[in-house]
């Protein structure tokens, strides 16, 4: 079953138009990558923190957003530390964490159906040959697969932990891939049955 990460609320961010939130997220990520200055990173982290406060979400929600990426962040930090300097390793890791938390903030405050509507609104001025509905459907499916994969990974990890295999990456990845592909086949069959392919 496909779910989303939406957290119900009545904050200004929850009520904001999905297209506006997507545009703001795109601008935020672009600026944070283009302007490589510590002050900009500090402003970005402050903006994300204010966004969570406005949405009525605490530090726990921000932690949940970056928790699945801790392993990747650790690898990036170690690589930058080995190739460059400690300061650059900290900077790159914090910037990626800020981007992840900003993206999660949008998912926390936007329902999957609203996200699809926002994408269609952004694509409304695209040429007629652009398959707007199919693009919106594809991206919204990705949007909803992310929490599903996370939930399945937690289930597989708990099952393998009970078997004493929680440190075996192969034992974790193979069942997760099989379950994800099976779900993808079921979703594809449902889309085909509705003549949306």
pLDDT in tens, 25-75: 889 989 998 888 899 999 999 999 999 999 998 888 888 888 877 877 888
Count of other CB atoms within 10 angstroms of residue 78: 12
Q: Could you tell me the two tokens for 188?
A: 């594809």
Is the pTM higher than 0.85? Answer: no
| pLDDT computed for residue 2 by the predictor | 41
Q: Which tops the pLDDT comparison, 9 or 29?
A: 29
Average pLDDT over residues 96-122: 82
Q: Which tops the pLDDT comparison, 136 or 74?
A: 74
Residue 30: exposed, middle, or buried by beta-carbon count in 10 A (0-12, 13-18, 19+)?
A: exposed
| pLDDT computed for residue 187 by the predictor | 72
């Amino acid at each position: 079953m496909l779910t989303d990460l939406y957290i119900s609320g009545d904050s200004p961010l929850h009520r904001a138009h999905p297209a506006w939130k997507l545009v703001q997220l795109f601008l935020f990520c672009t600026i944070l990558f283009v302007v490589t200055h510590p002050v900009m990173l500090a402003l970005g982290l402050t903006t994300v923190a204010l966004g969570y406060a406005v949405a009525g979400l605490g530090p726990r929600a921000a932690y949940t957003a970056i928790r699945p990426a801790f392993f990747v962040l650790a690898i990036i930090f170690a690589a930058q530390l080995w190739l460059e300097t400690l300061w650059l390793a900290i900077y790159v890791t914090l910037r990626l964490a800020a981007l992840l938390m900003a993206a999660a903030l949008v998912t926390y405050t936007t329902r999957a159906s609203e996200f699809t509507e926002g994408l269609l609104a952004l694509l409304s001025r695209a040429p007629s040959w652009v398959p707007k509905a199919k693009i919106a459907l594809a991206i919204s499916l990705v949007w909803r697969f992310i929490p599903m994969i996370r939930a399945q990974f937690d289930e597989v990890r708990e099952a393998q932990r009970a078997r004493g295999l929680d440190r075996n990456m192969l034992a974790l990845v193979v069942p997760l891939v099989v379950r994800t592909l099976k779900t993808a086949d079921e979703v594809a069959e449902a889309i085909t049955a509705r003549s949306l392919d």
